[in-house]
Amino acid sequence: MNCRTLTIRFANELRHDEVPQLRGAVIASLNEKLTLFHNHTGGDTLRYSYPLIQYKVLDGRAAMVCLNEGADAVGEFFASGNFGVRLGEREATLAVDRIEPRQWQIQVWDQTFRYRVRRWLPLNGDNYRQWQATESVAVRSALLERVLQGNILSMAKGLGIRLDGRVSATITRIAEPRWARVKGVHVLMLDAEFNANVTLPAPAGIGKHASLGFGIIDDTQRTEPY
């Protein structure tokens, strides 16, 4: 099935720790607080589904990645005309550098593609304990591959896509883990390269906190199917 993405790249420089402020500034600019921009359905109730509007740092600059209905809803932000934002201690006016529309055919193939994922948060409380309990690279890789497959399936489900066939994902390289602070909690963050038999819509995110610039899929590493 097809997936539409609209990647909006701003000219404004942005740090990764400022992404929540970018999100907050965009939401504050709206005349009507639309659910897809903040993933809350009312009060403190969360929309537990794949985020269709995501806020990111791409090439050191602010960006938004909007998918399917999110690509339609983002017009409300531009219609508001409120581009003045506060990022940390500085005032800024968001300036669009370029807008990149793209169509993707999301499906399982009989061949694999090469990807990279950046700032990925694969571990929750349970699987973090499994990770800590072993120093085996093979065991840790198998754990991460199960999580990655689950992340891919969750993305597809959130996009309204049913994947026919078995999803496979093989991690080929893992960079040294780093720590990130998300909503006051320290979490393990990974960069990795992997092969998968599914088309993935770069630079959308997978896994936890994809709406805040984590788990960014990069297909610039992708070669022809092999």
pLDDT, tens digit, for every residue of 168-213?
999 999 999 999 988 888 899 999 999 999 999 999 999 999 999 9
130 shares its domain with 211: yes
What pTM did the predictor assign? 0.88
Residue 98 has pLDDT above 70, yes or no: yes
65 shares its domain with 132: no
Q: Considering the domain boundaries, does residue 226 fall inside one?
A: no
| Residue 87: per-residue pLDDT | 80
Which residue is listed with tokens 């906190």? 209
Q: Considering the domain boundaries, does residue 128 fall inside one?
A: yes
Q: Tell me if 222 sits within 8 A of 132, measured CB to CB.
A: no
Q: Considering the domain boundaries, does residue 181 fall inside one?
A: yes
Q: Considering the domain boundaries, does residue 224 fall inside one?
A: no
Q: Tell me if 85 sits within 8 A of 22, measured CB to CB.
A: yes
Q: Estimate to the nearest angstrom the gap between the alpha carbon of 68 and the chain centroid.
A: 14
Last residue of a domain, one of 103, 132, 162: 103
Q: Show the domain range for 148.
A: 106-218
Last residue of a domain, one of 103, 121, 138: 103
Q: Tell me if 188 sits within 8 A of 128, measured CB to CB.
A: yes
Residue 224 has pLDDT above 50, yes or no: no
pLDDT-derived band at 38 (thresholds 50, 70, 90) equals: low
- 61: how many CB neighbours lie within 10 A of its CB? 14
